[in-house]
Amino acid sequence: MKIIAGNWKMNGTREKLKDMITALQNVDTENKMILCVPYTMLSIESGKASLGAQDVSTHDHGAYTGEVSAQMIAEAGAKYVIVGHSERRQYHNETNDIVRQKAEAALSAGLTPIVCVGETMDEKQAGKTMEIIESGVRESIPNDIDKAVIVAYEPRWAIGAGLTPTTEEIAEAHKLIADTLTSMGLAGTPVLYGASVKGSNASEIMSIPNVDGVLVGGASLKPDDFIPIITSVK
Ligand code: PEP
């Protein structure tokens, strides 16, 4: 069983999500299907899929205009929330420390955080990929948790760019993440790969050791693109 999660970013409509959910009803798979969609769509009946949000406030209530708490997200019907996505880190200056607080907020409301880590192109070129990944995992995941989290390795330079790391690079990153999680007492935590996943590369990526599924951006928006990724693996 793999986890296939879509990140719709700021795209779609409630009608398009309903169409996707209807299409997923006919997919014969044991894989776990998650759609992380804008807040306004979280109350839609999600059928065989589960819904997630794409960000959460570090606060549980109060004078934080425009923010949405984990409890509110859970009340709307979501089971998951992405924290620390590359675009949040880039456009909203989210640090590992903030991401960890968001993950803590999610866990306290019963949501499973999907914690994203990954290196920028500058960090990659400076030879810092492994260091950034390891500190991302250690600093973005709350300590001493006994609840489920999911980690997503997303090389930031590859997101939305049609680029993917080599198989060896993905394998090395996922081994480091799995080993780091084990040393944190979180062995068995699923680790997804994300960045430019599509129907044509999904099964090869998911056959790499320690890759427990994928987080898909652009190719999760249309059933014709998303379903082949879901059915590419058992
Ligand atoms: C993402 O935004 O999480 C992502 C993986 O995007 P894409 O698949 O479009 O590269």
User: Does the beta carbon of 5 lie inside 6 Å of ligand 1?
Assistant: no
For residue 203, report the distance from its CA to the centre of ligand 1, in Å. 16
For residue 62, report the distance from its CA to the centre of ligand 1, in Å. 32
At 124 the pLDDT is 96
Ligand 1 atom 8, closest CA: 217
pLDDT tens figures, 163-219? 889 999 999 999 999 999 999 999 999 999 999 999 999 999 999 999 999 999 999
Ligand 1 atom 6, closest CA: 217
Provide the Cα torsion 39, 116, 191, 223; round to 10°: 40
User: Does the beta carbon of 72 lie inside 6 Å of ligand 1?
Assistant: no
d(CA 216, CA 195): 7
Average pLDDT (38-64) is 98
User: Does the beta carbon of 160 lie inside 6 Å of ligand 1?
Assistant: yes
For residue 63, report the distance from its CA to the centre of ligand 1, in Å. 32
d(CA 201, CA 56): 31
pLDDT tens figures, 59-118? 999 999 999 999 999 999 999 999 999 999 999 999 999 999 999 999 999 999 999 999
Q: Whole-prediction pTM value?
A: 0.97
Provide the Cα torsion 82, 119, 97, 194; round to 10°: 10
